[in-house]
Chains A and B, each alone.
Chain A
Amino acid sequence: MPFIPHTENDIKEMLATIGVDHIDALFDEIPSELRCGELDAIPPGMPEMEVSRLMQMRARADGQPLCFIGAGAYDHHIPAAVWELTTRGEFYTAYTPYQAEASQGTLQLLYEYQSMMTALTGMDVSNASLYDGASALAEAVLMAVRGNRKSKSKRILLPRNLHPTYRRVVHTIVRNQQIELVEVGYDRVTGSIDHAELERYSGEDFAALVIPQPNFFGILEAVDELTNWAHDNGMLAIAVVNPMAMAILRPAGEWGDLGADICCGEGQPLGAPVSSGGPYFGFLCSTDKLVRQMPGRIIGKTVDLDGKIGYALTLQAREQHIRRSKATSNICTNQGLMVTAATIHMTLMGGEGLQRVAAASHANTGKLTQALTSLPGVETVFKGAVFHEQVLRLPIEVTKALRALAAHNVLGGFDLSDDYPELGDAVLVCATELRNEDDIENYRGKLERVIQSQVQTPCQLKPDW
Chain B
Amino acid sequence: MIYEHSRVGRRAMAQAPSEKVEMAGIPDAMLRASQPPLPEVSEMQAVRHFTRLSQKNFSIDTQFYPLGSCTMKYNPRACNTLASLPGMLSRHPLAPDTHSQGFMACLYELQDILKIVTGMHAVSLTPAAGAQGEFAGVAMIRAYHDARGDKERSEILVPDAAHGTNPASAVMCGYKAREIPTGSDGDIDIEALKSALGPQTAGIMLTNPSTVGVFERRIKEIAELVHAAGGLLYYDGANLNAILGKVRPGDMGFDVIHMNLHKTFSTPHGGGGPGAGPVGVSKRLEPYLPIPMVDFDGNDYRWLTEQDRPDSIGRLSAFAGNAGVLIRAYIYARLLGREGMHRVSEYSTLNANYLLKRLMEAGFDAAYPERRASHEFILTLKKQAKELGVNTMDFAKRLLDYGVHAPTTYFPLLVPECLLVEPTETEAKEDLDRFVEIMQTIKQEAESQPEMVKQAPHTMPVRRLDDVRAARELDLAWKPGA
Contacts and interface: CB of A to CB of B under 8 A. Distances in A.
A134 B49 CA distance: 32
Contact of B88 (A108, A220, A276, A336): A276
A165 B94 CA distance: 12
A369 to B, nearest CB: 10
Contacts of B2: 112, 347
A413 to B, nearest CB: 9
B99 A176 contact: no
B464 A305 contact: yes
Interface string A79-110: 10101010111111111111111111110111
Contact of B470 (A178, A312, A355, A363): A312
B315 A304 contact: no
Interface in B450-482: 455, 457, 460-467, 469-471, 473-480
A409 B130 CA distance: 37
A326 B427 CA distance: 37
A310 interface: yes
B128 A278 contact: yes
Interface stretch (B227-235, B263-271, B440-448): B263-271
A2 B336 contact: yes
A81 B273 contact: no
B149 interface: no
B379 interface: no
A38 B15 contact: no
B363 interface: no
A17 B362 CA distance: 13
A459 interface: no
Contacts of B353: 18, 26
A114 B476 contact: yes
Given A44-B338, A101-B462, A131 B128 contact: yes
A131 B93 CA distance: 16
Interface stretch (A167-175, A193-201, A228-236, A441-449): A167-175
Interface string A318-362: 011111111101111111111010011011111111111101101
Contacts of A310: 461-462, 465
Q: How large is the interface on A (under 10, 10 to 19, 20 to 34, 35 or more residues)?
A: 35 or more
Interface string A105-136: 11011111011111110001110110111110
B164 A111 contact: no
B271 A332 contact: no
B54 A85 contact: yes
B323 A277 contact: yes
B369 to A, nearest CB: 13
Nearest to A177: B174
Nearest to A49: B78
B15 A349 contact: yes
Nearest to B336: A45
Nearest to B97: A406
B36 interface: yes
A347 B30 contact: no
A1 B126 CA distance: 31
B476 A94 contact: no
Contacts of B51: 85, 88
Contacts of B469: 302-303
B199 interface: no
Contact of A102 (B19, B98, B400): B400
B343 A305 contact: no
B347 A69 contact: no
B428 A177 contact: no
Contact of A335 (B57, B273, B334): B273
Nearest to A59: B87
Contacts of B24: 362-363, 366
A135 B350 contact: no
Interface in A130-176: 131-135, 163, 165-166, 168-169, 171-173, 176
Interface stretch (A4-12, A181-189, A203-211, A256-264): A4-12
Interface string B108-127: 00001100110100000000
Contact of B82 (A36, A55, A172): A55
Given A59-B88, A337-B271, A411-B99, A126 B476 contact: yes
A325 B164 CA distance: 7
Interface stretch (B69-77, B279-287, B380-388): B69-77
Interface in A409-459: 411, 414, 433
A190 B305 CA distance: 31
Contact of B325 (A171, A172, A279): A279
Nearest to A301: B475
A406 B425 CA distance: 46
Interface in B303-355: 306, 313-325, 327, 331, 333-343, 345-347, 349-351, 353-354
Contacts of A300: 470-471, 474-476
Given A75-B92, A109-B53, A274-B90, A94 B269 contact: yes
Which of A23, A93, A102, A336: most chain B Cβ within 10 A?
A: A102
Given A62-B103, A111-B477, A279-B323, 15 more contacts: A10-B429, A48-B335, A63-B99, A73-B92, A83-B84, A95-B70, A96-B271, A103-B271, A104-B56, A109-B53, A277-B319, A279-B324, A301-B470, A312-B465, A362-B23
15 contacts: A38-B338, A38-B342, A51-B82, A81-B43, A93-B60, A93-B61, A102-B405, A125-B476, A131-B128, A176-B172, A308-B463, A334-B273, A335-B270, A336-B269, A347-B41
Ranked nearest first, the 9 interchain pairs of A and B with the lowest CB-CB distance are A277-B319, A45-B337, A89-B61, A337-B270, A336-B272, A59-B87, A277-B93, A61-B102, A172-B314
